[in-house]
Amino acid sequence: MRSATLQVLLWRRALDPHVGRWSLPGGRLRPDEDVETSIRRQLAEKVDIRQLTHVEQLAVFSAPDRVPGPRVVATAFLGLVPSGVDPEVPEDTRWHPVADLPRTAFDHHDIVVRARDRLRSKLSYTNVGFALAPREFTISALRELYSAALGYKVDATNLQRVLSRRGLLSPTGDTAPSGRTGGRPAALFSFTGNGIEVTDPFAVFRPPPRRR
């Protein structure tokens, strides 16, 4: 999450096929590691991303023609980096808004869209918001994160009510520094847990109805 938009990290391919196109970081699984360990290792080695707060398997992509040449089956993962973390990345790597992706290699556009949809779904019925937020935050800042991920403006009061009812928010007792215009300092909150859990299996966040 960067600049109030949901973004994905892509790197530009230096080799054929699809040289020059943007692609998701990835690579081969070593004989001595499981898949999640491989994902974390490759992100650290290739694009210097080490601050993942949540990783989960997304889907297996196995279309026979997804990659030119010998058949390649890909296991894709959703990995989240919290707001406020700004890791240095190599020159051939860049954050891209999910809503405005460049031309990507292979089926990586479809993978990104699948990951976006998975995140939006899980924001409704789990506590995965902890993986997007910094350790402490105001409700206004949390609303901006949810709005960016869900793709529509979220009401701050309703968001606080829903998350508090589920026991996910804890007031820290501190307040954020006042802005330039002054006013009452906003209270700071934190998530009560930092591990994924289902909090309401039937809940769905819905965009507000359109005004006629």
Summarize pLDDT for 141-170 with one digit per residue, the tens. 999 999 999 999 999 999 999 999 999 999
Summarize pLDDT for 104-133 with one digit per residue, the tens. 999 999 999 999 999 999 999 999 999 999
- Domain range enclosing 171: 128-191
Whether residue 91 lies inside any domain: the answer is yes
Whether residue 108 lies inside any domain: the answer is yes
Statement to judge: residues 78 and 27 lie in one domain: yes
Statement to judge: residues 106 and 179 lie in one domain: no
CA 14 to chain centre: 26
Statement to judge: residues 36 and 52 lie in one domain: yes
Long-range contacts, 114-119 (Cβ 8 Å, 24+)? 114/58, 114/59, 114/76, 115/8, 115/58, 115/76, 115/78, 116/6, 118/58, 118/78, 119/6, 119/78, 119/80, 119/149
Whether residue 12 lies inside any domain: the answer is yes
Summarize pLDDT for 50-92 with one digit per residue, the tens. 889 999 999 999 999 999 989 999 999 999 999 888 878 889 9
Statement to judge: residues 11 and 116 lie in one domain: yes
* Final residue of a structural domain among 93, 124, 155: 124
Statement to judge: residues 31 and 117 lie in one domain: yes
Say which CATH number the domain at 167 has. Answer: 1.10.10.10
Rounded Cα distance, 83 and 86, in Å:
8
